[in-house]
A and B are shown apart, each in its own frame.
Chain A
Amino acid sequence: MSVVAKNAEASHAADAHEGDYLTHSRGFLSWALTLDHKRIGIMYLIGVMTSFLVGGILALMIRAELLTPTQLFLTNKQFNQVFTLHGAIMVFLFIIPSVPAALGNFLVPLMLGAKDVAFPRLNLCSFYLWVVGLIFFIACLLITGLDTGWTFYTPYSTTTEGPVAWATMGAFILGFSSIFTGLNFIVTINTMRPPGMTWFKMPLFLWATYSTAIIQVLATPVLGITLLLLTAERLFQIGIFDPRWNGDPVAFQHFFWFYSHPAVYIMILPAMGIISELMSVHSHKTIFGYTLIAYSSVAIALFGFLVWGHHMFTSGMADVTTIVFSALTFSVSIPSAIKVFNWLATMYKGTVQLTTPMCYALNFLFLFTIGGLTGLFLGALSADRHLHDTYFVVAHFHYVMMGGTLVAFVGGIFHWWPKMVGKMYNELWGQISCLFVFIGFNLTFLPQFVMGTRGMPRRYARYLPEFQDLHIMSSTGAFILGFGLFIALGVLIHSLMRGRKAPRNPWGGATLEWHCSSPPPHYNFASAPTVNEPYDYTPLAYHDEEHGWEYHQPNVRPTPSQSHPVIAKS
């Protein structure tokens, strides 16, 4: 028996003694004051999923209102408030913390074979900062009247009557939550890797998380500065961005996008990390081009700092600046393309199993490819003169942010769900949810590309009747998409209540989190696990539904009969 298996036995014995991390201690305070990264991750997960539900309901309200060119049930003002809150909640409360804070918190120490993150108290603090930021946003929701768009562009935001100060304070505090999480991960990954895990033996999810953390720590302070300047201008009429007091509105856009463009990579990089894991594990094949995927994460993180100007191609920057930003923007497309090709090549000659997480990963690949390719139109200056601020842009970034990050996030939840809660879920319904998401998503956003090229501007509460057909298609898609996501939620809730007990390693993953039991014990590992190659599947063999994949004699291939897991019937 291998060393790993012995460790597993040892930690199994520990489970029986202490219970897993969910049952280790009980009561509200044991959760509220926990320093356990897994519990903090779960709390984040519940938090971001609730935020997503709210942001999603707002999105459906937008789509419902846009069924007709004239007013259906929202006044102009209400429509503006709804799309503002949709954007702000989705960006600040959902996407940015979704993968890094929820899944990252749960997974980073487990993947490192560590007991916890480097600074557990800072970790809890960052969760509570997120909660405080959430309260500020709820305040905006209740006061109603925030109508600036999530971008807070001046001078509109310095003159409107909505609770801009509340919202910016909320975003400011959420920024600190993000910085603390990033800082924690940088230190954790730098200092707590187990003996034998060199940088290039890390799972790619950790590379992605590490790259993300660097952006979080370097870029987020700029958002803080920007929002403070904005609040100062609103409250004390200091001229920074508002021309009435000799400020310059375009300066605000530079400040804002200097953070918010790298933030796009805070959103997508961890999702790419998830996909690297999912593609490899569910194809049962070593990831293709490990080094290039790892480097491309870092390259995206670095290039991401230099391309913020592409949000401002029509804002009146100098022509040379505009052209330089366009060139830099194209530089970021190359590492993304490399990743896509490597993921594809990973499947080549592997053993692809269409589990729910894999369905979501393939869905990601489809949608992200469209999202990435349509970016080419927008990065190119002459086409952008026509497409800027139209529905083409709306469709493009939803393909990247929602088709990319959200779909990867859901795939990641399904992948690590058995590890998190120790229960399996119904595969068939998981796959059905993915199908609905796929159909609904494309029906929602493909017509928006056409609306965009035909000239439909974004953020319009009313529109010309000639766009109605496309809007109706888009709204129909949105409801199908919402339905698909509700099925996914239902699958998870059903699994919590009725799910079959999950084995230690249901998918045959080779990274360290699969070495501890499902759900993991309080201290993760009884002793430091032995590090092996993160994507070497040769020593794994499938037993049965109850035991999942287990290590057998190292470096012996599983026989064919052992590699046919039956799809769960629970």
Chain B
Amino acid sequence: MNLGFPFLLADKNETFWFPAQASTFAKEVDFFYWAVLWICIFFFVLVVGLMITFVVKYRRRPGYQGSSLAEHNNFVEILWTVIPTIIAIWIFARGASGYLDMVTPPAETLDINVTARKWSWTFQYPNGAISTQLHVPNNKAIKLNMRSEDVLHCLFVPAFRCKNDVVPGRVHYLWFQPIKEGVFDIFCAEYCGERHSEMLSKVTVHDVAGYEAWVADAAKPPTEPVAWGRWLYERQGCMGCHSTEPDKRIVGPSFAKSFGTTQKVLTGNQAGDEVINEAYIRESILNPSAKKRVGFESASQMQSFQGKLDEKQLNAIVEFIKSLRDGAPPAGTQ
């Protein structure tokens, strides 16, 4: 419903209140929202209407004599206790039944593993493909098994009308069934630190054939080491904090123009010079706070990749960083 604020209707919003209805939950949530909204409007108009009427009608003015005694009235007291109670019970019941649908996935689902970290998402598909944006087939029940590597996050897709926290040390799931092809926003909705507001991603809803083609293609990493290194850089969360443009600081140091240079580092509290070479990069990936670059002492925010990357993958990342030594990023492989 357009309430007459066309300038407020951003292109992403199909109605005044909501983004597109892109999952099976959206219809129920939107209907329910409208129902509660009308209940609220009714009571709001009632309260404010009476308020204004009373203020006007019983205002102090010459020739008007108000009463200063209230007559107790059990009937109205019961009336305005019982009616709101009945309405509250209905809202609760409808909300709870909608909720049960939202937390009860069907037996057959497409399971995708989600890893959240400061400040990026990684999605892992059944065939081993990994991506930083979510790709799903239309009209299929999808179940996300979500883990966090560090702090609380929350995966929120407004177009699907659902969200769930991602809690370290637990596996939480979120299921939904898309009903509309397109690209929709993913937000992190639980505060997670410096770049919380940039922990964004997209979900692309393909038709089934399109999804199959995409996921088959995404599962094949490049074989050439530099390209493979970039492929990993984009998928393991590195790009959330390290840029590939010279001197551009996101959180950690830029990868560009760093290989082969000598930098001041802190080993514990000991300051010293360190050449950025294969050994240093490898150590910094596996044990980020061992030698902290001066000016980037918050390296403790980076998680260790010990056990998450094998030697070949580490080498590929080193080769990728080496390729950026002159500052010109090599052509992307994506």
Contact = CB atoms under 8 A, between A and B. Distances in A.
For the complex of A and B, the 5 pairs showing the least CB-CB separation, nearest first, are A455-B158, A382-B98, A243-B169, A380-B95, A381-B99
Contacts of B84: 333-334, 337
A483 B102 CA distance: 45
8 contacts: A76-B197, A246-B169, A248-B169, A314-B163, A341-B47, A348-B58, A352-B54, A382-B99
B151 A455 contact: no
Interface string B170-199: 101000000000000101111111111110
B167 A249 contact: yes
Interface stretch (B69-77, B128-136, B253-261, B317-325): B69-77
A386 B29 contact: yes
B28 to A, nearest CB: 6
Nearest to B55: A352
Contact of B32 (A345, A350, A383, A457): A383
A323 B65 contact: no
Given A155-B168, A287-B70, A460 B196 contact: yes
Interface in A347-365: 347-354, 362, 365
B68 A149 contact: no
B279 interface: no
A462 B197 contact: yes
B217 interface: no
Contacts of A563: 60, 65
A467 interface: yes
Interface string B69-93: 1101100110011001100110110
Contact of A460 (B63, B161, B194, B197): B197
A288 B54 CA distance: 14
Contact of A349 (B66, B95, B152, B167): B66
A286 B18 contact: no
B309 interface: no
A243 B43 CA distance: 46
B51 A344 contact: yes
A513 B8 CA distance: 51
Interface in B14-72: 16-19, 25, 28-29, 32-33, 36-37, 39-40, 43-44, 47-48, 50-51, 54-55, 58-60, 62-70, 72
A369 B76 contact: no
Given A76-B194, A80-B196, A376-B91, 16 more contacts: A76-B198, A155-B168, A156-B151, A285-B66, A326-B92, A334-B88, A351-B58, A376-B39, A379-B95, A382-B96, A382-B99, A385-B25, A385-B99, A390-B189, A450-B8, A457-B156
Interface residues of B, number: 95
B162 interface: yes
B301 to A, nearest CB: 8
Interface residues of A, number: 97
Given A155-B151, A285-B69, A373-B40, A352 B196 contact: no
Interface string A458-484: 111111101101100000000000000
B103 interface: yes
Contacts of A188: none
B164 interface: yes
A249 B152 contact: yes
B220 interface: no
A501 interface: no
B88 A333 contact: yes
Contacts of A288: 70, 72
B7 A469 contact: yes
Interface in A162-215: none
